């Protein structure tokens, strides 16, 4: 039984959509939950306290514990206030689900600076504004913690009309990578989730009522199907860190960045652009790859293949071939 009794969780953007479901599940499993939601439109306009209040009422009516927060993650003081709500009301912080988000679409050539800024403010800056005070609180409490950053397939794979959204969501994976590396020694684990779930973000974007009602895919992407993955990654049962997982229509899968084996040019030789063109198939190959745990892995791998040391005067490093488990 994955249980959150005695733990405090923050879920941002928890007044609606997928965030609401994460908050309900964490509360159902015993967590005291800060239900944060600004209550804006899908595009990020306006505010409304009702969505957060309604979810808090739903949790408390079911016998759970929750408090509402209406702060925006897009400002440093908003992130700080959300973390303070956890510490002041529940005396600690164990779990952060960084989920708040907005959406909008524009061709890259038409994207305005304001659209770009607004998207990065909420998703990427919002992730930072929340995560830093939360991380500091977890560090000083000394009992570890769990971060789940809600990214997107748009960010990791690309989606037309979404340069701003995709850049912001991919940026969250970069943030997660480093938080996971720095946090591991302190029992603070961080992972990212790429969800797909039927919400207003889908209905307002698709717009076509008939398509929404009749598409098999639309019916298959029940938002409830994302909840188990987020719940597991938020729990103390989760021992993995520094990973991204996709949840789409009941298919759960790891998403990773692989470093190909590539082509090693002759030592002390500077290849020409023509050499790159000639070797492009080998350089682009994906049959052999590793999944580096950090930038150090890439440095050590190159040092090993070159027979050199990363450290001045040091002995050549030995770097094992990737095992099946690594891959």
Residues binding ligand NAI (CB under 6 A): 12-13, 15-19, 36-40, 42, 44, 51, 72-74, 99-102, 122, 126, 150, 152, 195-197, 199-202
Q: Which is nearer to ligand NAI, 51 or 171 (CB)?
A: 51
CB 201 within 8 A of CB 17: yes
Q: Which is nearer to ligand NAI, 161 or 302 (CB)?
A: 161
**Shortest approach of ligand NAI to residue 321 CB, angstroms?**
35
**Nearest-angstrom CA–CA distance, 18 and 36:** 13
At how many degrees (to 10) do helices 113-120 and 163-183 cross? 30
**What CA–CA distances, in Å, run from 205 to 14, 166, 255?**
20, 15, 25
Which one of the listed residues 22, 70, 135, 165 is annotated catalytic?
165
**Nearest-angstrom CA–CA distance, 93 and 280:** 49
**Shortest approach of ligand NAI to residue 312 CB, angstroms?**
45
**Shortest approach of ligand NAI to residue 126 CB, angstroms?**
6
Q: Which is nearer to ligand NAI, 130 or 303 (CB)?
A: 130
CB 195 within 8 A of CB 121: no
**Shortest approach of ligand NAI to residue 107 CB, angstroms?**
19
**Nearest-angstrom CA–CA distance, 165 and 106:** 10
Q: Is 135 a catalytic residue?
A: no
214: number of Cβ within 10 Å: 10
DSSP classification of residue 147: E
239: number of Cβ within 10 Å: 6
End-to-end CA distance of the chain: 29
Q: Which is nearer to ligand NAI, 101 or 145 (CB)?
A: 101
Q: Which is nearer to ligand NAI, 7 or 99 (CB)?
A: 99
**Shortest approach of ligand NAI to residue 70 CB, angstroms?**
8
Residues with a known catalytic role:
165
């Amino acid at each position: 039984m994955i249980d959150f009794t005695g733990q405090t969780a923050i879920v941002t953007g928890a007044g609606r959509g997928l965030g609401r479901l994460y908050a309900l599940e964490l509360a159902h499993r015993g967590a005291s939950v800060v239900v944060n939601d600004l209550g804006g439109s899908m595009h990020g306009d306006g505010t409304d306290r009702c969505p957060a209040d309604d979810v808090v009422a739903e949790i408390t009516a079911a016998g759970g514990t929750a408090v509402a927060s209406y702060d925006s993650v897009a400002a440093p003081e908003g992130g700080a206030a959300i973390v303070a709500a956890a510490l002041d009301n529940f005396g600690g912080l164990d779990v952060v689900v960084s989920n708040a988000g907005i959406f909008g679409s524009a061709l890259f050539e038409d994207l305005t600076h304001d659209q770009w800024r607004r998207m990065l403010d909420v998703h990427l800056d919002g992730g930072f504004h929340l995560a830093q005070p939360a991380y500091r609180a977890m560090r000083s409490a000394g009992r570890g913690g769990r971060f789940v950053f809600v990214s997107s397939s748009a960010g990791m794979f690309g989606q037309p009309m979404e340069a701003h959204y995709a850049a912001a969501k991919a940026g969250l994976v970069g943030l997660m990578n480093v938080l996971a590396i720095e946090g591991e020694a302190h029992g603070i684990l961080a992972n990212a989730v790429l969800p797909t779930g039927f919400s207003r973000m889908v209905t307002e974007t698709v717009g076509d009522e008939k398509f929404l009602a009749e598409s098999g895919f639309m019916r298959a992407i029940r938002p409830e199907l994302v909840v188990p993955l987020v719940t597991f990654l938020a729990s103390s049962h989760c021992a993995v860190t520094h990973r991204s997982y996709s949840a789409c229509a009941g298919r759960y899968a790891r998403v990773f960045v692989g470093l190909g084996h590539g082509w090693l040019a002759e030592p002390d030789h500077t290849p020409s652009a023509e050499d790159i063109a000639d070797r492009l198939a080998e350089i682009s190959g994906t049959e052999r790859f590793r999944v580096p745990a950090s930038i150090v892995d890439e440095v050590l791998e190159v040092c090993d293949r070159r027979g050199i040391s990363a450290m001045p005067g040091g002995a050549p490093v030995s770097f094992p071939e990737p095992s099946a488990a690594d891959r």
